[in-house]
Amino acid sequence: VQLVESGGGSVQAGGSLRLSCVVSGLTSSSNCMGWFRQAPGKEREGVAAISTGLGSTDYADSVKGRFTISRESAKNTVYLQMNNLKPEDTAMYYCAAASAEARWWLRLLERVYTYWGQGTQVTVS
């Protein structure tokens, strides 16, 4: 299984970015996909997650109303649209895939996920 993120960059506060994660080699018909981030000196935290089977989404409180996770099954791609970015959003962002679905209250936890991308840097000034 391979996850490849793209779309990171440097933006000014209030700007937008869209991250993409292309997934290959995953055989599950439905599973949980997530976006995590890790800022320097901080633990990695769950930002957003989506159930590919149900289409339901979950967000960390810090990004609700600003970030949107979505999926394009035909392209095996998961997106994270980030609007109204703030300096505190600065972090390395990682895409993650679980091998199966997960209960909604677990979807922002690292231990749910088996496969991880290498990350894409987002810097907000």
Neighbouring C-alpha atoms within 13 Å toward the C-beta of 15: 14
Which pLDDT score, from 0 to 100, does residue 28 have? 77
- The series of mean pLDDT values per 10 residues for the chain, 125 residues long, is 96 98 88 96 96 93 97 94 98 95 91 96 98
Which pLDDT score, from 0 to 100, does residue 27 have? 81
**Structural element, H or E, at residue 114:** none
Angstrom distance (rounded) from CA 7 to CA 18: 6
Residues contacting 22, CB < 8 A, separation 6+: 3, 4, 6, 75, 76, 77
Angstrom distance (rounded) from CA 39 to CA 109: 16
Which pLDDT score, from 0 to 100, does residue 29 have? 76
Which pLDDT score, from 0 to 100, does residue 81 have? 98
Which pLDDT score, from 0 to 100, does residue 21 have? 97
For the residues of 27-91, what is the DSSP string, one character each? --SS-EEEEEEE-TTS--EEEEEEETTT--EEE-TTTTTTEEEEEEGGGTEEEEEE-S--GGG-E
